[in-house]
Structure 1
Amino acid sequence: MNFKLSTKEKFHEIDINEDNLTANLAGDFYETIASFLEKEPFNTILLFTNVNQIDEATAHHLKELHELFYTNEQSFVLTEISKNVLDTLISANIADELNITPTLSEAWDMVQMEEVERELLRDFDDDATEQ
Protein backbone atom coordinates (compact mmCIF):
# COMPACT_ATOMS: atom_id res chain seq x y z
CA MET A 1 0.00 0.00 0.00
CA ASN A 2 1.34 3.39 -0.96
CA PHE A 3 0.91 6.09 1.71
CA LYS A 4 2.49 9.14 3.29
CA LEU A 5 2.90 9.19 7.07
CA SER A 6 2.94 12.30 9.23
CA THR A 7 3.30 11.90 12.97
CA LYS A 8 1.76 14.57 15.17
CA GLU A 9 1.75 14.90 18.97
CA LYS A 10 -1.50 12.94 19.47
CA PHE A 11 -1.87 10.83 16.30
CA HIS A 12 -0.46 9.35 13.13
CA GLU A 13 -1.86 10.88 9.98
CA ILE A 14 -1.81 8.40 7.10
CA ASP A 15 -2.51 9.83 3.65
CA ILE A 16 -3.38 6.89 1.41
CA ASN A 17 -1.98 7.29 -2.11
CA GLU A 18 -4.09 4.67 -3.86
CA ASP A 19 -6.97 5.33 -6.22
CA ASN A 20 -8.63 1.99 -5.55
CA LEU A 21 -8.32 -0.13 -2.40
CA THR A 22 -9.28 -3.69 -3.33
CA ALA A 23 -9.12 -7.16 -1.82
CA ASN A 24 -5.63 -7.52 -3.32
CA LEU A 25 -4.43 -4.71 -1.05
CA ALA A 26 -6.76 -5.40 1.89
CA GLY A 27 -4.46 -7.82 3.74
CA ASP A 28 -1.42 -5.56 3.46
CA PHE A 29 -3.62 -2.58 4.26
CA TYR A 30 -4.87 -4.20 7.48
CA GLU A 31 -1.40 -5.26 8.64
CA THR A 32 0.14 -1.87 7.86
CA ILE A 33 -2.51 0.11 9.72
CA ALA A 34 -2.71 -2.34 12.65
CA SER A 35 1.05 -1.92 13.17
CA PHE A 36 0.37 1.66 14.28
CA LEU A 37 -1.21 0.27 17.46
CA GLU A 38 2.36 -0.33 18.64
CA LYS A 39 3.80 3.09 17.76
CA GLU A 40 3.33 6.23 19.81
CA PRO A 41 1.22 8.22 19.44
CA PHE A 42 -1.32 5.45 19.20
CA ASN A 43 -4.27 7.28 17.58
CA THR A 44 -4.59 7.11 13.80
CA ILE A 45 -6.29 9.25 11.17
CA LEU A 46 -6.65 7.85 7.65
CA LEU A 47 -6.94 10.41 4.87
CA PHE A 48 -8.89 9.11 1.90
CA THR A 49 -8.33 12.21 -0.24
CA ASN A 50 -6.82 10.18 -3.11
CA VAL A 51 -9.01 7.08 -2.75
CA ASN A 52 -11.91 6.95 -5.19
CA GLN A 53 -13.07 3.37 -4.62
CA ILE A 54 -12.88 0.57 -2.09
CA ASP A 55 -14.35 -2.90 -2.22
CA GLU A 56 -16.40 -4.59 0.49
CA ALA A 57 -13.39 -6.58 1.76
CA THR A 58 -11.58 -3.33 2.47
CA ALA A 59 -14.71 -1.88 4.07
CA HIS A 60 -14.82 -4.84 6.45
CA HIS A 61 -11.11 -4.42 7.18
CA LEU A 62 -11.82 -0.80 8.14
CA LYS A 63 -14.50 -1.97 10.55
CA GLU A 64 -12.13 -4.56 12.05
CA LEU A 65 -9.40 -1.93 12.42
CA HIS A 66 -11.84 0.47 14.08
CA GLU A 67 -12.82 -2.21 16.60
CA LEU A 68 -9.18 -3.15 17.21
CA PHE A 69 -8.16 0.45 17.89
CA TYR A 70 -11.09 1.13 20.20
CA THR A 71 -10.56 -2.13 22.11
CA ASN A 72 -7.07 -0.78 22.80
CA GLU A 73 -8.46 2.64 23.82
CA GLN A 74 -7.11 4.38 20.75
CA SER A 75 -8.84 6.56 18.20
CA PHE A 76 -9.28 5.57 14.57
CA VAL A 77 -10.79 8.19 12.26
CA LEU A 78 -11.42 8.27 8.50
CA THR A 79 -11.54 11.63 6.79
CA GLU A 80 -11.96 13.28 3.40
CA ILE A 81 -13.66 10.22 1.89
CA SER A 82 -15.26 10.38 -1.54
CA LYS A 83 -18.92 9.75 -2.23
CA ASN A 84 -18.03 6.42 -3.89
CA VAL A 85 -16.16 5.24 -0.79
CA LEU A 86 -18.97 6.41 1.48
CA ASP A 87 -21.52 4.62 -0.72
CA THR A 88 -19.54 1.37 -0.37
CA LEU A 89 -19.38 1.77 3.42
CA ILE A 90 -23.13 2.44 3.52
CA SER A 91 -24.01 -0.53 1.29
CA ALA A 92 -21.83 -2.79 3.50
CA ASN A 93 -23.72 -1.47 6.56
CA ILE A 94 -20.46 -0.22 8.07
CA ALA A 95 -20.59 3.58 7.76
CA ASP A 96 -22.47 4.08 11.04
CA GLU A 97 -19.89 2.01 12.93
CA LEU A 98 -16.90 4.13 11.92
CA ASN A 99 -15.70 7.57 12.91
CA ILE A 100 -15.88 9.55 9.68
CA THR A 101 -15.27 13.28 9.42
CA PRO A 102 -15.53 15.51 6.36
CA THR A 103 -12.25 17.36 7.02
CA LEU A 104 -8.84 16.69 8.50
CA SER A 105 -9.36 19.49 11.03
CA GLU A 106 -12.50 17.77 12.32
CA ALA A 107 -10.61 14.47 12.53
CA TRP A 108 -7.97 16.18 14.70
CA ASP A 109 -10.76 17.52 16.92
CA MET A 110 -12.34 14.09 17.24
CA VAL A 111 -9.06 12.50 18.33
CA GLN A 112 -8.49 15.20 20.92
CA MET A 113 -12.06 14.94 22.26
CA GLU A 114 -11.76 11.17 22.56
CA GLU A 115 -8.43 11.56 24.38
CA VAL A 116 -10.11 13.87 26.92
CA GLU A 117 -13.08 11.51 27.22
CA ARG A 118 -10.82 8.50 27.92
CA GLU A 119 -8.88 10.50 30.51
CA LEU A 120 -12.09 11.58 32.26
CA LEU A 121 -13.41 8.02 32.25
CA ARG A 122 -10.13 6.75 33.75
CA ASP A 123 -10.34 9.40 36.47
CA PHE A 124 -13.98 8.47 37.13
CA ASP A 125 -13.07 4.76 37.33
CA ASP A 126 -10.18 5.55 39.69
CA ASP A 127 -12.48 7.60 41.95
CA ALA A 128 -15.10 4.82 41.98
CA THR A 129 -12.46 2.23 42.87
CA GLU A 130 -11.18 4.31 45.82
CA GLN A 131 -14.64 4.54 47.40
Structure 2
Amino acid sequence: MRTARASYVPATTRAALARFGVSVVASVDGTKISVSPYELPGEVEWRVDMLHWYITKVVLDLMWLPREELMAYLERTKQALVAESNLHQLEADLVVDAASSTLQRLDWSPTGAPEARARLVDHVHSTWDALQERYVNIVSSSPQR
Protein backbone atom coordinates (compact mmCIF):
# COMPACT_ATOMS: atom_id res chain seq x y z
CA MET A 1 0.00 0.00 0.00
CA ARG A 2 1.32 3.50 -0.86
CA THR A 3 1.71 5.98 1.98
CA ALA A 4 0.69 9.64 2.25
CA ARG A 5 2.19 11.74 5.06
CA ALA A 6 0.23 14.62 6.54
CA SER A 7 -0.32 16.44 9.82
CA TYR A 8 -4.08 16.04 9.77
CA VAL A 9 -6.26 14.38 7.18
CA PRO A 10 -10.04 14.32 7.74
CA ALA A 11 -11.69 10.91 8.07
CA THR A 12 -13.60 11.26 4.80
CA THR A 13 -10.36 11.97 2.95
CA ARG A 14 -8.61 9.04 4.65
CA ALA A 15 -11.52 6.76 3.73
CA ALA A 16 -11.46 7.89 0.09
CA LEU A 17 -7.67 7.50 -0.12
CA ALA A 18 -7.96 3.98 1.33
CA ARG A 19 -10.21 3.04 -1.58
CA PHE A 20 -7.29 3.93 -3.86
CA GLY A 21 -4.85 1.92 -1.77
CA VAL A 22 -3.29 4.91 -0.02
CA SER A 23 -2.83 4.88 3.74
CA VAL A 24 -2.20 7.96 5.86
CA VAL A 25 0.75 7.80 8.23
CA ALA A 26 1.36 10.17 11.13
CA SER A 27 4.70 10.54 12.84
CA VAL A 28 4.44 10.67 16.62
CA ASP A 29 7.70 11.03 18.52
CA GLY A 30 9.57 9.57 15.58
CA THR A 31 7.27 6.55 15.38
CA LYS A 32 5.19 6.16 12.26
CA ILE A 33 1.57 5.29 12.95
CA SER A 34 -0.86 4.21 10.26
CA VAL A 35 -4.02 6.25 10.83
CA SER A 36 -7.33 4.46 10.49
CA PRO A 37 -9.37 5.45 7.44
CA TYR A 38 -12.38 5.61 9.78
CA GLU A 39 -13.36 8.43 12.10
CA LEU A 40 -11.35 8.19 15.29
CA PRO A 41 -12.85 8.57 18.77
CA GLY A 42 -12.68 12.25 19.73
CA GLU A 43 -11.68 13.39 16.23
CA VAL A 44 -14.78 15.48 15.50
CA GLU A 45 -14.70 17.12 18.94
CA TRP A 46 -11.02 17.91 18.43
CA ARG A 47 -11.75 19.46 15.02
CA VAL A 48 -14.53 21.62 16.51
CA ASP A 49 -12.19 22.78 19.28
CA MET A 50 -9.51 23.52 16.68
CA LEU A 51 -11.97 25.70 14.74
CA HIS A 52 -12.83 27.51 18.01
CA TRP A 53 -9.11 28.04 18.52
CA TYR A 54 -8.76 29.60 15.06
CA ILE A 55 -11.73 31.89 15.79
CA THR A 56 -10.09 33.03 19.04
CA LYS A 57 -6.74 33.55 17.29
CA VAL A 58 -8.31 35.64 14.53
CA VAL A 59 -10.25 37.75 17.06
CA LEU A 60 -7.03 38.35 18.98
CA ASP A 61 -5.23 39.41 15.81
CA LEU A 62 -8.11 41.68 14.77
CA MET A 63 -8.29 43.42 18.15
CA TRP A 64 -4.92 45.04 17.60
CA LEU A 65 -5.46 46.22 14.03
CA PRO A 66 -6.75 49.63 13.03
CA ARG A 67 -10.39 49.30 12.00
CA GLU A 68 -9.67 50.35 8.42
CA GLU A 69 -7.41 47.28 7.99
CA LEU A 70 -9.93 44.70 9.23
CA MET A 71 -11.60 43.75 5.94
CA ALA A 72 -8.32 43.24 4.09
CA TYR A 73 -6.97 41.20 7.01
CA LEU A 74 -10.08 39.02 7.09
CA GLU A 75 -9.77 38.26 3.38
CA ARG A 76 -6.06 37.40 3.68
CA THR A 77 -6.83 35.28 6.73
CA LYS A 78 -9.52 33.33 4.92
CA GLN A 79 -7.10 32.56 2.08
CA ALA A 80 -4.33 31.58 4.50
CA LEU A 81 -6.61 29.28 6.49
CA VAL A 82 -7.25 27.31 3.31
CA ALA A 83 -3.79 27.49 1.72
CA GLU A 84 -1.56 27.23 4.79
CA SER A 85 -3.69 25.64 7.52
CA ASN A 86 -5.47 23.22 5.19
CA LEU A 87 -8.95 24.12 6.37
CA HIS A 88 -11.83 23.47 4.02
CA GLN A 89 -13.18 26.66 2.42
CA LEU A 90 -16.41 26.30 4.44
CA GLU A 91 -14.38 26.01 7.66
CA ALA A 92 -12.35 29.11 6.75
CA ASP A 93 -15.58 31.01 6.03
CA LEU A 94 -16.96 29.94 9.41
CA VAL A 95 -13.80 31.02 11.26
CA VAL A 96 -13.67 34.45 9.61
CA ASP A 97 -17.42 35.09 9.95
CA ALA A 98 -17.47 34.01 13.61
CA ALA A 99 -14.38 36.09 14.42
CA SER A 100 -15.84 39.15 12.72
CA SER A 101 -19.15 38.70 14.52
CA THR A 102 -17.40 38.24 17.87
CA LEU A 103 -15.28 41.33 17.37
CA GLN A 104 -18.36 43.43 16.60
CA ARG A 105 -19.77 42.49 20.02
CA LEU A 106 -16.59 43.42 21.89
CA ASP A 107 -15.63 46.84 23.19
CA TRP A 108 -12.02 47.07 22.08
CA SER A 109 -9.34 49.49 21.09
CA PRO A 110 -6.32 48.66 18.90
CA THR A 111 -4.20 50.67 21.32
CA GLY A 112 -5.13 48.48 24.30
CA ALA A 113 -2.75 47.46 27.04
CA PRO A 114 0.27 45.51 25.74
CA GLU A 115 0.41 43.37 28.91
CA ALA A 116 -3.16 42.21 28.27
CA ARG A 117 -2.21 41.26 24.73
CA ALA A 118 0.80 39.32 25.99
CA ARG A 119 -1.41 37.32 28.38
CA LEU A 120 -3.88 36.57 25.59
CA VAL A 121 -1.11 35.50 23.21
CA ASP A 122 0.30 33.18 25.90
CA HIS A 123 -3.16 31.69 26.41
CA VAL A 124 -3.63 31.13 22.67
CA HIS A 125 -0.22 29.42 22.41
CA SER A 126 -0.84 27.14 25.39
CA THR A 127 -4.28 26.26 24.04
CA TRP A 128 -2.71 25.36 20.67
CA ASP A 129 -0.15 23.16 22.44
CA ALA A 130 -2.97 21.37 24.28
CA LEU A 131 -4.83 20.83 20.99
CA GLN A 132 -1.72 19.35 19.42
CA GLU A 133 -1.29 17.01 22.39
CA ARG A 134 -4.92 15.90 22.05
CA TYR A 135 -4.38 15.19 18.37
CA VAL A 136 -1.30 13.09 19.15
CA ASN A 137 -3.34 11.12 21.69
CA ILE A 138 -6.15 10.58 19.18
CA VAL A 139 -3.75 9.37 16.49
CA SER A 140 -1.76 7.26 18.95
CA SER A 141 -4.92 5.38 19.89
CA SER A 142 -5.86 4.89 16.21
CA PRO A 143 -7.05 1.34 15.59
CA GLN A 144 -4.92 -0.26 12.91
CA ARG A 145 -7.46 -1.54 10.36
TM-score, normalised via structure 2 length: 0.32
More relative contact order, 1 or 2 (CA 8 Å, 6+ apart) = 2
Task: Looking at secondary structure, tell me which structure has more helix per residue.
Answer: 2
Task: Looking at secondary structure, tell me which structure has more strand per residue.
Answer: 1
TM-score, normalised via structure 1 length: 0.34
Structure of larger gyration radius: 2
